[in-house]
């Protein structure tokens, strides 16, 4: 058991960001139900390996975009080509392992859809940036 704990301790967290090429397309209730089951099964497989940290969908209800000029618009809509539909955070020993998780994501069934894989900065590293900015 200690070997498993040690391996888990040396893992990094990666965010898998679900990008939909055309966020204006609306799936039928049946399609949504099928996709949700596939997604829950996929996440369940990752969780069974004790490598799922968290995740959620990102609904458009009450979505806003704050621009650099502090102007606020309803969004993310308008002229955008793709939308972010959600994300999960996984524990992995390498980016390649996280990519393997991403390859199984049901979002990839949609033509043009992608899953972006990014390493999450360790909290200690992030805390140092905040402390240095405040000096």
pTM, full prediction: 0.79
Q: What percent of the chain has pLDDT over 70?
A: 77
How far apart, in whole angstroms, are the C-alpha atoms of residue 50 and residue 47?
Answer: 5
The pLDDT assigned to 6 comes to: 43
Residues of the chain with pLDDT under 70: 1-9, 23-26, 76-80, 124-135
For the chain, the structural domain boundaries read 2-133
**CATH class of the domain at 2-133:** alpha beta
Average pLDDT, the chain: 83
């Amino acid at each position: 058991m200690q070997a498993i704990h040690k391996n888990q301790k040396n893992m990094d967290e990666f965010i898998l960001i679900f990008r939909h090429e055309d966020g204006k397309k609306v799936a039928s209730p049946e399609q949504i139900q099928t996709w949700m089951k596939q997604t829950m099964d996929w996440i369940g497989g990752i969780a069974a390996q004790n490598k799922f940290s968290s995740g959620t969908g990102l609904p458009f209800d009450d979505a806003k975009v704050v621009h650099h000029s502090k102007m606020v618009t309803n969004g993310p809509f308008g002229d955008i080509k793709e939308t972010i539909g959600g994300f999960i955070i996984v524990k992995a020993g390498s980016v390649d392992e996280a990519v393997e998780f991403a390859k199984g994501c049901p979002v990839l069934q949609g033509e043009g859809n992608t899953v972006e894989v990014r390493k999450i900065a360790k909290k200690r590293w992030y805390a140092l940036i905040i402390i240095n900015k405040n000096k």
